[in-house]
Structure 1
Amino acid sequence: MDTMITVENLTKRYGDYVALDDVSFTSKPGRVTGFLGPNGAGKSTTMRIIAGLTPATSGTATVCGSSYRDIHNPATEVGVLLDASAQHAGRTGAEILRLSAMTLGVGRTRVDEMLEMVSLTAEESRRRVRNYSLGMRQRLGIANALLGDPQILILDEPANGLDPAGIHWMRTLLRDYADRGGTVLLSSHLLHEIEIIADDLVVIGQGRIVAQGTKEELLAGNGTRVRSLDDDALLQAMTAAGIVARPVIEGGFLADVAPEDIGRLAARIQIPLVELRPGDGANLEQMFLDLTAATAREGSATQGAPQ
C-alpha cells in the first residue's frame, strides 16, 4: 500500500489573498518530514487540506494514494492532530478515546494501551478535558491520532505545551514510529527539536516552498558566502549571469556556485568584495532565518490572514 503523503501543485485562495501558491512535496514512509515556516506561511492550511478539512482551490493532496475524504475508515490509515485544544471540554479523556474507539471499530483494550503509551494516568483519564493542561491535551490528541494504528501521522505543532521531558518523550515516540516504517509529517516552530528528529525538511514562506530536501542536503555548507561594498549591484550581476543567490541574515549572499566564479564576476564588474569563502554548514535556525527573511519582514502584512 502507498503510505506516502503526496502534495502536488496545491493552491488555496481566500478572495484576493493567496494562502498557498503551487505547493508540492512528499512525505515518505520510514521518515520524519519537518514542515517549517513562519506564522501565516501556509503550514496549517496545507495540513488542513491534506486532512480533508479545507478544500483546495487547485492541485491535489493524497494520503495512501487517495484523497483523505475517499478513504473508507481514514483514522485507521492516517492519524491527525491539528489542534489539541479542539477537544470536547466536558468529556473525560477516557470518554473521548472510548467514543473514538467505537467509531473506528477498535476494542476498548486499545484505549488503555494508548493512555499508557502517552503517560496519562487512570486518574488523569477520568478528569474532564477542561481541567487538562495544554500538554495533557497534546498527549490525549496523540493517543487519539494513534488509536486506529495508522501508517501515517500528520501533526501540527504537537510539542506546544509540553515540558522538556514531554518533548523528549514526543521525539522518542515519533522516531520509533518512523523507524517501524510509519510516515510522519510534523510542523513545529521548535527548530531545535525538528533539527534533532527530522529526516527531511520542507520550508514554506508566504505560501510558497522556499526549500526542501534531506536535512543533510539543506544544512550542508554548499555554495559560496559573498559580501561586497555594493550588494545590490552584485546581486544584479549574479542574477544576470544566471547565478542563484539568496540573502543571508548577517549581510551578503549564499550563492550556488564556487568562490572562484564569484571572484571572476566581481573582478569583471569591478565590485570590491569584503567576504568570499565556501559556505558553512548551517544550523537549522540559521537556514530558517535566511530562507524566510523576506517573509518575516513582511509578516505584519499577513496578520489576520488564514494560516
Structure 2
Amino acid sequence: MVTWNLWWRFGPWEARQKAILSVLRELRPDVVGLQEVWAAGGENLAGWLAGELGLHWAWSPSPAPERWRRRLPDAADGPVDIGNAVLSRWPVTEQETLLLPAPADLADGRLALYARLAAPAYDVPFFTTHLTSALGAVAVRREQVTALAEFVADRRGGTPFPAVVTGDFNARPDSDEIRLFGGCKTPSAVPGLVFRDAWEYADPAAPFVTWTPENPYAARLLEPPARIDYIHVGPPGPVGEGHVRAVRRAGHGPVDGVWPSDHAAVVADLATP
C-alpha cells in the first residue's frame, strides 16, 4: 500500500510526472492512494500512471477547483482539475466520494475517496483523503476526521481485510485530529472504530518525515520537518489479514535531478493469508 501527495500541477510538473512514474514503477505497488492529482484537456495523471503501470484506477475531482487554479502561473492556458485517486492491481467494484466539511473561507473542495477492491481472496476497503492545510485549523481537521470516520465505518464491512485509510492529513502524529481518528490515545470519533498508524511498526531509527525543507519544493514555505502523510489500518482480520509487516518512505529524493513531489510517499507492506 502506498500513499502520496503529488503536488498537482505546481513546479516542473511534466518532469515531475516522469519521476513519479519511475518511483511507482520501482515500488510495484498493489494499491496507491493519491492526492493532488490533476486532470486537464482530457488527460488525467492517475489514468496515465495506471496505464503505464498496468493498474485499475478510480478518480474523484474536487468541486472547487477554481480555488486551486488561482495559484497556477499558467491558469489562463485552460482549466485544470484537482482531486484524489486510487490505483489498484485489482478491479474497483465500488467507489464513492465524501466532501469534507470546511468553513467558507477554507472550502477548497477537499475530499475522501472510497474504493472497494476485488482482491483474489477478499475485498479490500480502501480510502484516500486530503485534509485542509491551513495553519491553526485543528478544529476544522477534527470535524473532517469525524466525517471521515463516519464515512469509513459505513463502508468497511463484509470482508476480513481491515479498512485502510491513506492520505495527507496535514497534521502531526501527536495532534488532536490524528489521535481522534485513531481512537487509541483518545476516544474515537466513531465508537468502536480504531486504526493503527502504520508507522508505529517502523524501525525507530528510520527517517520518518514526509514534509521536509531538504526538499526544495517544501523548503519555500519555511516550515519545520514533519510527518503528515499516513497509512491507517484497522485491526487485523481473523488470521492476521492486514497486519502491518513493514513500513518505509519512498520518493524522498531526486530522480534524475528532479524531486517527484513536495511530499515523500509512505509505503506499507500488509499481510495476506
TM-score, normalised with respect to structure 1: 0.27
Which protein shows a greater Rg? 1
- Between Structure 1 and Structure 2, which shows a larger proportion of helix residues? 1
Structure with the greater relative contact order (CA < 8 A, sep ≥ 6): 1 or 2? 1
- Between Structure 1 and Structure 2, which shows a larger proportion of strand residues? 2
